[in-house]
Amino acid sequence: MTNDRIVQEIRQQLLGVSELYSRLLLIVGLAGSGKTASLREFAAAGPHPIINIGEEVSRALLDLNERQRILQLPKLLDEIASLHEEELLILDNTEILFATALQQDPLRLLQGLSRNRTIVASWFGTIEGQELTHAVPNHPEYRRYPVRDLLLIAANAHGTGSNCGWDEEA
């Protein structure tokens, strides 16, 4: 099963992560690729807390105006993570970090969180060659990062994907 493979890969990747500057491991895949199920299975064996970032960040941003949301998001994200004393946190539903209105660099936010704790996070996108992507070119949320120095696990069996499910016309 794909979930078992991903859980095993998470365990393997985490063996030396404590010595890295950024202790971030991304589980990369499209909708239905098994990211959430694998994270839940890994968490249950831990036990490690799973934080629904979309839900928690949305709640934290409710009372803020647009400018405050942009300025406060990194601090709010750190406060959400700090509510948990565990050394390893699992973050799921991270798509809110890509919202164009928040004007953030999602990878940088996650890397910042992972300097003081180990973070295993879902990433809705693909690994294409030497690039980590989110969305498709011309989509407002499109992001592309070099995979160099990133710890990644492809949730889909082949580790690649061409269409992330976004409308290419958007």
CATH number of the domain bearing residue 50: 3.40.50
The total of structural domains in the chain comes to: 1
User: Does the pLDDT of residue 164 top 80, yes or no?
Assistant: no
Name the residue type at position 107: L
State the helix-helix crossing angle for 2-14 and 35-45, rounded to 10 degrees.
Answer: 60
Tell me the pLDDT of the chain averaged across its residues: 88
Contact by Cβ (8 Å): 104, 72: no
Instruction: Tell me how crowded residue 20 is: count the other CB atoms within 10 A of its CB.
Output: 14
Q: Report the DSSP beta bridge partners of residue 26.
A: 121, 152
Position 40 in a domain: yes
* Percentage of the chain modeled with pLDDT above 70: 91
- pLDDT tens, 113-157? 999 899 999 999 999 999 999 988 899 999 999 999 899 999 975
Kindly report whether the peptide bond that precedes residue 74 is cis, defined as omega within 30 degrees of 0. no
Predicted TM-score (pTM) of this structure: 0.87
Asked whether residue 161 is assigned to any structural domain, the reply reads: no
Supply the DSSP symbol for 79.
Answer: H
- Domain span including residue 121: 2-10+22-147
Q: Is the pLDDT of residue 16 over 90?
A: no
